[in-house]
Structure 1
């Protein structure tokens, strides 16, 4: 037999994916990283391969784009173009022959699902074979790739790790809650690729979109818009109303896989509902799947400056009640992601972490998305740098003008330059603790710079009226970090700075609030007359009972706006102090029985919770683990002040550093509790 006849082709899925560090990612295709060679094994019959008698030409197809790559004997892998080289040919005198070919993609190849074809040309015939598909991802291990990250520890954390912590609450009472990014769960990679394919950019101009997918800056903008459903067939619908009927309360999500699968299973109907941490966590999953190093970041006291004047104006009544006036607001916390990439479009010095925010707040290029805004550009106040640097700069730097008003007249104004962007945090690599990254975004506040940046936009508008009197100082101090089920204890401290006695009126007001907007009506208030001597300081203690602040809708954290207005009866001057804080939910404790946890072997964990309430509580406990085959759910009823210990059996399906996490959704009082334990699952 003198003919070269191709028998079968093996894309060497397991070996290639281990070399490309994509093992564990679940896809219907071979999964590869760009800028790196992969091996194809071809079994053929007839005579051994002779490059003088037949040409082997690979055709690599991405939508309407394709490239033809002839197999050569001595080709060096190229980082700039596709190449194919004969690795070795093993003739077998008694049977089929084996041919190994090494294919290399450029480090700037487009991310997408490719089709691989082979054309065999001889003097007498041309035959074409369909070899299969492969998914090509970014490659942070390849120095020529624009997402290259130097440190292996950081690549492990920001690309490979599927466990995370999200930081919520307030800087003084921060809550860390677990999140499972789930990038290794079955089908998740294919769903993430579908997300690119359903984007308006792909639908409008497939060829242009596929060409642009070589650039992580472009990919980041597409994903930022596609994680929310405001302009497209995006993944999540936002809801901050407090009414989550017809969907899932955002506080109940604990991982990305459930959300992405639900989106795919409903033929890409938006999943209900998301809030900022859900949007950010899902985006982190998608970007890590695509090979772009990504982390979730929390900005505490995040300014939403709608008119770009770098000033947030807050209004209070004389009784200390905060008013919902104006479109500007301060979110107690706000989450976005940072992705690591080069920024050749910005010139030198702006490579590295870039802010991307999928929460639909403001339009960027006619779509609800934000970024990538270079963190370095935000730090350097380079507000002309694309994309959306001024918006993010304001989120971490705006001034707050707090005004007491009566009949639309400003009675007093106090300027706060420190509360916005008070703490910017993310999970510390290799640890389940918080890393403070505030100094990457901002220096100690430089008043002259901020005012220079904001003066033109402000145009002279803003606060007018008398400043707070110099003769009085007032502050609020929580006596302990508030916990759901306990009373809130605090003191009002009033200092008379002058050598004459004063008669004062004290108005204290507490309002429940959502983390992303101004509070509505008051749930507690106290009003008293206070006599204070010359140069005297007095402390007045108050308590707010659990019954008075209990929320009606289940959430992870109750948030409270507490304010006090002190009025000098004689001069009618007023001074305001305010504090916003979260009331931490009790946490669940998880203990894994075996220190040595083995994959595919049943394990037992004990979940412990002490009911701090004076009533019987009931709810549903859910325990899950990244790589766990299915969640464990059980209903519980716990008498007042009693401790529940519940044994949970689970079987981890994947080796590596994993997180066992639990949530308990209580009906009465309505609250969501969380707990987690990290485990190292050994291969069997």
Structure 2
């Protein structure tokens, strides 16, 4: 790196020694600091670990008897002077130091090892060098370097002891997002893209445009040594709600003026678009997109991080640790509650010690960038220790009651008739039924449910606010036609198999008469399309009939919804809420059972010439195909292929009519400009039913040529 600026202050004798060049030894330092591929613009090193500089002089050699070498590290208005010393002593973990080791002094150059404090700030630092005698000081501005957290260093708050964990949660640029419903879990890859050009610089830009930085730059710089502080700043900046953050969220209506959240397959395109638009919001994101981008930023800055999916995640709108749902007497779910249950919700866990809380709360912390509720006035959530959720420590910072409700709230399902309660069910098991992340060694899921759910039961009637352990009352006034008592009628509802688009949906209702008398019952069964994060829309199918059941009898009722009944409403991966209400015609007792499931998409095939491992900057042929699995003709068929880091833009193949069993094929040429894991994304859509039918992701491994 060339010296870009020189200033001289003289008081007498002037030395002829001048600094000619500084070599940041970028390649060697990047290997030593585990930062290879993060930037081709800056030296990137990790705090608490020495990095090497080589100083080359001209005119005459530096004479340590006559002149002192002093480095100065600058961050905003903050700076630290570092006298360069000849020393064999160990580095002081609490302060900056610079040393020349025996053998490091040569006629033409000096090799200096610089070490930052363990708790240095994550930022782009400016480095100065001073040549000082008693009479003069010659100063040089020699360049910038980026300092990151160091999960390899035991004294760093983000230290992670197992290398296999660091490889997965820091170095890996590929992850899996789990989606769908508990009974039919889908997965999609996500490219974190931390080695894509410009991604590290985008992450640093994110910190520079935060409200905290605009308010007080020096205080922000100082606090960036703390991963708790960093995670809250980044969490708030991933969404756009309060600041110049990255993503606008959208969950309803169309996506004109932006990108459908389901179209994103990685973080790099989002970060590049945000930077190139001068920090304008990228449209649009939903929970998995927010989480994927947050995970990228965390890994880039050196904080171990993983994406986690909670199935049946509760959004406790009134902060009483109970989720209320309302149904009509015919099984239609009503949009009457502030609470909701998301079929899946994706957030992030970050690894760090919690010096602010105590060692019992060290380890994984929930950080949720999806803007749902405010935390201390800002749309962010966490970091909340997973251990605090498991132990129901609502007083632990940050947002423990809200996170606890997300994974372990009770669900109260109420049947209403003309505004009056005529039945209810309390479900203590369905919320947080499964919590998944990608496992360390494979693409198989790791079940984290036990790490969140420990001892249980909540005390009846206890209600928690989001930010403290204080009790807050919350009550709903309901008129009821009958006193609630133990029912002698048991009802369950199940879905047979894994429903796929184009096939019958088979439902099974089981009714058990636990009384000693026969019963005349009316069955009402109702199906509604449901977004994964909100209440259902209007019903698209319903049926009812009368049945008789003998004392002690277990009655099984089978139902089938043919494709003709749902294909105008449902597409692949859509979610269905189905509910049954059984009414005793004599006693007027009503019992409810509900179930939600998703429709699986038809498959798209992706094949790459020579296999899925390719070399950088070489061209390969990829063949993408879709076969119409339906018995009907599909009109307006479109097969779209795209892939960040592999393809420029999107490539499409169209067919006006696609006959049953007919294949639609698109062949593309791919070439990777950087190493790492890339994703080819293929989408099939058609105009004759509900829209997108199928989406597929194909993992491609890119190695250096």
TM-score (norm 2): 0.91
> Is 1:520 paired with 2:537?
yes
The answer on whether the counterparts of 1:221 and 1:371 sit within 8 Å (CA) in structure 2 is: yes
Bigger CA drift: 609-618 or 153-162?
A: 609-618
Change (3 A) 1:261 1:450: farther
Other-structure match for 2:98: 84
2:503 paired with 1:486: yes
Deviations 1:564-620 (A, max 9, x none): 111111111100010011112223233333246333322333334322232325224
Task: Out of 99-108 and 527-536, give the one that drifted further.
Answer: 527-536
Matched, 1:621 2:640: yes
Counterpart of 1:589? 605
User: Match for 1:53 among 62, 66, 83?
Assistant: 66
Matches of 2:298 and 2:15 in 1, distance apart?
50
Q: CA deviation at 1:453?
A: 6.4
Corresponding residue number in structure 1 for 2:22 = 9
Counterpart for residue 475 of structure 1: 492
Structure 2 counterpart SS, 1:174: strand
* Alpha carbons 1:469, 1:573 under 8 Å: kept: no
Is 1:69 matched up with 2:82?
Answer: yes
| Larger mean Cα displacement after TM superposition, 446-455 or 330-339 | 446-455
In the other structure, the counterpart of 2:247 is 236
Residue 364 of structure 1 aligns to a residue whose secondary structure is: coil
Q: Which moved more, 1:534-543 or 1:666-675?
A: 666-675
Deviates more, 1:427-436 or 1:276-285: 427-436
Asked if 1:562 corresponds to 2:578, the answer is yes
CA contact (8 A) 2:270 2:282 kept: yes
Q: Distance in 1 between matches of 2:105 and 2:600?
A: 67
In the TM superposition, what whole-angstrom CA distance separates every residue of 1:237-284 from its partner, at most 9, and x where no partner exists? 111113212211111111111111111111111111111111111101
- Greater Cα shift, 489-498 or 612-621: 612-621
Question: Corresponding residue for 1:571?
Answer: 587
Question: Equivalent of 2:401, from 382, 387, 390?
Answer: 390
1:275-314 matches, within 5 Å, as: 275-314=286-325
Equivalents in 1 of 2:622, 2:410: separation in Å?
A: 48
The answer to whether structure 1 residue 135 and structure 2 residue 149 are counterparts is no
What is the aligned partner in structure 1 of residue 36 from structure 2?
Answer: 23
Q: Is the 8 A contact 2:169 2:305 kept in 1?
A: yes
Q: Distance in 2 between matches of 1:585 and 1:420?
A: 26
Q: Classify the secondary structure of the residue corresponding to 2:552.
A: coil
Contact 1:90 1:99 in 2 (8 A): yes
- Structure 2 gaps, min length 5: 1-13, 465-469
Aligned 8 A contact 1:468 1:574 in 2: no
Q: Is the 8 A contact 2:646 2:680 kept in 1?
A: no
Partner of 2:384 in structure 1? 373
* 619, 639, 642: which one aligns with 1:602: 619
Q: d(CA) in 2 for partners of 1:447 and 1:458?
A: 19
How far the C-alpha of 1:431 sits from its partner, in A, is: 1.1
Change (3 A) 1:108 1:559: same
Q: Pick one of 551, 555, 558 that aligns with 1:534.
A: 551
Runs of 4+ in 1 over 6 A off after TM superposition: none
Equivalent residue of 2:237, what SS? helix
Quick check: 1:177–1:674 contact (8 Å CA) kept in 2?
A: no
* Partner residue in 1 for 2:467: none
What is the CA distance between 1:89 and its match in structure 2?
4.5
3-state DSSP of counterpart to 1:584: coil
C-alpha deviation, 1:473, in angstroms:
1.5
What secondary structure is seen at the aligned counterpart in 2 of 1:327?
Answer: coil
TM-aligned CA deviation for residue 632 of structure 1: 5.8
1:485-530 CA distance string (max 9 Å, x none)? 3231112222222232211111111111111111131111112111
Q: Distance in 1 between matches of 2:693 and 2:109?
A: 59
CA distance in 1, matches of 2:522, 2:495: 21
SS at match of 1:186: coil
Instruction: Say whether the 8 Å CA contact 1:608–1:645 is kept in structure 2.
Output: yes
- Distance in 2 of aligned mates of 1:301 and 1:499: 37
Q: Which runs of 5+ in 1 are unaligned?
A: none
Matched, 1:447 2:457: yes
Number of residues paired by the alignment? 676
> Of residues 670, 673, 680 in structure 2, which corresponds to 1:653?
673
Q: Within 1, Cα distance between the matches of 2:97 and 2:649? A: 45
Q: Which residue of 1 aligns with 2:6?
A: none
* Preserved contact between residue 159 and residue 288 of structure 1 (Cα < 8 Å): yes
Q: Distance in 2 between matches of 1:593 and 1:537?
A: 57
RMSD: 2.2
Q: Which string of whole-angstrom CA distances, capped at 9 and with x for unpartnered residues, describes residues 621-647 of structure 1?
A: 22426x536466233434333234544
Aligned partner of residue 673 in structure 2, secondary structure: coil
Q: Equivalences for 1:163-562 in 2 at 5 Å?
A: 163-443=174-454, 446-449=456-459, 457-458=472-473, 466-467=483-484, 470-550=487-567, 557-562=573-578
Q: Distance in 2 between matches of 1:470 and 1:114?
A: 69
Asked whether the 8 Å contact 1:661–1:677 carries over to 2, the reply is yes
1:643 to 2:663 alignment: yes
Return the offset for 1:348: 2.0
